[in-house]
Structure 1
Amino acid sequence: MRFARRGELDGAPLAVRRPAPRLAVLDGLRLVAALMVVVFHYTALRGGWDQHPDKVFPVLRTVTRYGFVGVEVFFLISGFVICMSTWGRSLGDFVVSRVSRIYPAYWFAVLLTAGVITLWPQVRSVENWDVVLTNLTMVQEAFGVWDVDGVYWTLFIELKFYVLFAIVVATGVTYRKCVLFCGVWTVAAVVAPQSGSKLLEMWAPTLYTPYFVAGIAFYLMHRFKPTALLWAIVTVSLLIALHGVPKRVADNTNNSIPTWPAKLMVFAAFVIMALIALGYFDRIQWRWLTTAGALTYPLYLIHQYIGMTVIHGLRSHIPPYPLVAGLIAVMLTAAWLIHRCVERPVGKRLRRAMQQGMEEMRRNSTVPALRTPDPQSGLTILQEPRHPKPFEPAESGRVGAGTGDGG
C-alpha cells in the first residue's frame, strides 16, 4: 500500500516521488463491466431472438438479467480514473485528453452501426441520416434525438461529469477541491428529485452521481490515505446508490424480479474499488489486463444493435449458446481492430492537432495588441501583432517559435 505523507494533502508534492504502478486490475474490472452489459443485451433482452429470452436461456437469464449493473461499475471506475488523470494537468490538457480519447472510436462506431442497421433493419432502423450526423456530437440527447445505438445514453452522462469536473481542473486539482466537489455534487443529487428543476436533475442525476463521487473518494484514498471523511463520502454514496437500484431494476426488466442481487453486485463493486484504493492489487501487473482494458470502449460502442442484428440473422442456423459465445469472440476481435486501426492512430492525430490549437490559443492570448495612433482621425487603433512564421527570422534576429509539439 502506498499513502502520501502529510505534506501532499495540501497539493505540495514531495521532492522525490516514485511513479505509482499502473492499476492493471482497473483495466480488468472495466472489461468485466463491459462483458456484463454485453451478455445482458444478448441473453436477457428479446433483441434479435424470435421468442422471449426466458425460453431461450431459462437458467442463464436468471443471472444475466442483472448485467446492466455493469454501467454502474463503469461510472464508479470513471470517477477514480478521471480524478487520477487530471492531477497536475491544465484545463486544456484535460480537454485534449478526453476528446482525443473518446471521439475517434465513437465516430467510427456510429457510422458502422448506422450502416449495419440501414442494410439490415430487422432489429433497428435509421430514421434519417440527420439523426446519424447529430449522433456524431455525442450530445444528441440534449436535442431529443434518439441514439444510433442504445448504449450511447451513458456517454452523455459521462460528458456531463467531465464538464462539471472541468471546473475543478480549471482552478487546479487539489485534495480540498476534490472533496468539496464531492460534497456539493452529492447535495445537488439529493435535492434534485424534489427541487422541480429539470436543469438540476440533468446535471446531478441521483441514480448515477454517487458512483462518480465514490470513485473520486477512492482515488483520494489511493493517492493519499484513507480518512474518516473519505470513508464517509463513500458510505453516503453507497447508500444513495443502493436506494436507486430498485428503479434501475424496474427500468431494465419487464417483470418484477428481486432487487437484492443487483444491490449485492453494487456493494461488491464498491468493495473491489476499496481494495484497489488501499493498494491490495498493486502487485498484479499482468500485461494482458492492459490489453483487455483497451478493448473495453470499442466493444461497448459496437456490440448492441450490430450484435442483435447478427443474432436475428443466425438464430435459425446456430444454437443459442454457441451463437452468443461466438458472437462475443467476434466482437472482441472487432474491438481490438478498432483500437489498433482507428482509436490509436486517429486519436494520436487528433490529439496532436488539438495540442497545436491550444498552444496557438495560449500564445495569442498572452500577446497584447499594439496601440497605434491614426493620423487622420486622431483615434488610437488596436492592431494585432505580427507573429513570425515557423523558422522565419523575427525582428530581434532570433528564430521564431515553431508550432510543433516541441514548441
Structure 2
Amino acid sequence: MVTAPTSSRAFPHSRNSLNLFRLILAAAVLFAHAFYITGNGHGPMLHGENLGGWAVAGFFVLSGFLITGSRFRHSTGDFLVHRIARIYPAFLVVLVVTALVFAPIAGLLERGELSGFMTTPVTPLEYIWGNIGLHVNSYTISWTLQTVPYAGAWNGSLWTLYYEFFCYIIVWTLGFLAIFRRTVWFPVALWVCAVGVQATMGFWTKLGLDGDFTLLFKLLPYFLGGVVAYVLFERWGMRRWIGIASLIVALVPIFLIPGFGGQLAAPFLAYGLLWLSTVVPQPRLIAKHDISYGFYIYAWPTAQLLMLVGAAGAGVWVFMGLNVLVTIVFATASWLLIERPVMRATRRSQKARTAAVATAPAADAAP
C-alpha cells in the first residue's frame, strides 16, 4: 500500500491515492449507469442527479487541480501535447472497437446475421467519423441495440470528454495571463462567475444559448474549484484541519442547495478530496497502473453487451459485478497497449527536444 503523511507543505504529487480515487469515481459511474442499462430506474438520486453525475463532479474537481499543475509545469506546446496524448488516443480506439468489434457482436447476438449492418445509418464508419472530434453527435450504430432497455445507446459516458477538453483549453489560455499565475483571487473570481452563470442558467437559456453552453457551465465550476484548490495548495500548503473542515463544509451546499449547490461546494470538495488522497492508502498495483480512464470509457459498451447475453437475469447487483470484471479487462488493455505507451513516447519526445536545445551550440555573435 502507498500513502503519504499529511503536512502543511505542498501537495505530494508523487505520493497520493488519486489513481484509486479516480477508479472509485469511475466505478460509481458504472454503478449509476447499471440501473438505466438494465431498466431498473435511476438508482440513488440527489437533487435530480444520480450517483454517476456526482462522480463526474468529483472527476472534474480533481482534474482542475491536476491540469492546472500541468499547465504551470509545462510549456504551452508541451501542455497541449500531453493533454491530447492522455485523452485522445484511447478515445479514438474505443470508438473503433465499439463500431467494428462490439457492434458486430451485438448484431450477431440480436439477429444472428449482419445484413445491412455496414450501410444502415448511423453506419459504423459514420459513428467513428461523427464522434472523432470528442463531441459526441451519435450514440447509435446501424440497427444494433434495439432489444435492450436502453436502446440504441452505445456509450453514454463519452459526452463528458468534450467538456473536459474544453476546460483544458480554458486553463491553457489562462496560463498566458500573469494574473492567473500570481494571485489566488483571480481563479476564485473565475469560479464565482462560473457558479453565477450556473445559478442563473434559466436566464441564459432564454437568450438562446444551447445545450453545450448549459453542460459546460454545469461542469466548469467543478473544474475551476479544482483550480482554486491548486493555487491554495501552492501558496499556503496542505493542512489537515482545513482538509477535514473542507469535506464537512462541502456537504452543506451539496445537500441543502438544489441546482448549484455542488458547484458552490467545488473548491471545498476539491481540497477535501485531495487531502484525503494523502491519508487513504492505495494498493501499489493501482499506484503503478492508472486504469481509471479506460474503466470510464469501456464500462457502458461492455454493459450493453452483457445485457445481450442475458447477464441482467441474475439481478442488477450481479450484473454490476460482472460488468466491473469485464470492464477491468478492457481498461487494463487500454492502459497497457494505448495510454501508457503513448504517454511514455510523449515524455521521451519532450526530453529529447529539451536535451537537443541544451546541447545546441550558441549562435555566433554578430559583428
Aligned length: 320
| Distance in 1 separating the partners of 2:349 and 2:237 | 40
Larger RCO, structures 1/2 (Cα 8 Å, 6+ apart): 2
Alpha-carbon distance change, 271 to 105 in structure 1, aligned in 2, over 3 angstroms? same
SS of residue paired to 2:94: helix
The structure that has the greater radius of gyration is: 1
Among candidates 327, 331, 354, match of residue 327 of structure 2 = 331
Give 1:283 shift: 5.2
Give 1:197 shift: 5.9
Give 1:327 shift: 2.4
Among candidates 19, 33, 43, match of residue 27 of structure 1 = 19
Among candidates 73, 83, 89, match of residue 74 of structure 2 = 89
| Distance in 2 separating the partners of 1:197 and 1:355 | 47
**1:120 paired to 2:106:** yes
Contact 1:34 1:299 in 2 (8 A): yes
Partner of 1:162: 168
Among candidates 72, 86, 98, match of residue 101 of structure 1 = 86
Q: Deviations over 1:150-202 (max 9, x none)?
A: 11110011111111111122346854356414413532552473242638972
**1:275 paired to 2:272:** yes
**1:71 paired to 2:68:** no
**1:220 paired to 2:245:** no
Contact 1:96 1:351 in 2 (8 A): no
| Within-5 A mapping of 1:240-389 | 245=258, 273-277=270-274, 279=275, 281-282=277-278, 284=280, 286-288=282-284, 290-291=286-287, 294-315=290-311, 318=314, 320-349=316-345
Alpha-carbon distance change, 317 to 275 in structure 1, aligned in 2, over 3 angstroms? closer
Give 1:27 shift: 2.1
Q: Deviations over 1:288-328 (max 9, x none)?
A: 37448711100101110221221231237655433331221
Alpha-carbon distance change, 210 to 296 in structure 1, aligned in 2, over 3 angstroms? same
Alpha-carbon distance change, 189 to 320 in structure 1, aligned in 2, over 3 angstroms? closer
Partner of 1:371: none
Alpha-carbon distance change, 239 to 182 in structure 1, aligned in 2, over 3 angstroms? farther
Alpha-carbon distance change, 285 to 306 in structure 1, aligned in 2, over 3 angstroms? closer
Letter in 2 for 1:184: L
Partner of 1:37: 29
| TM-score, normalised with respect to structure 1 | 0.63
SS of residue paired to 1:170: coil
Q: In percent, how many aligned pairs have the same letter?
A: 19
| Distance in 2 separating the partners of 1:329 and 1:292 | 19
| TM-score, normalised with respect to structure 2 | 0.69
Q: Deviations over 1:304-360 (max 9, x none)?
A: 02212212312376554333312211211221121012211133335656888x88x
Among candidates 198, 204, 214, match of residue 209 of structure 2 = 198
| Distance in 2 separating the partners of 1:27 and 1:95 | 22
Q: CA RMSD in A?
A: 4.6
Contact 2:229 2:267 in 1 (8 A): no
Q: Deviations over 1:132-165 (max 9, x none)?
A: 1232221x34xx5558621111001111111111
Alpha-carbon distance change, 163 to 290 in structure 1, aligned in 2, over 3 angstroms? same
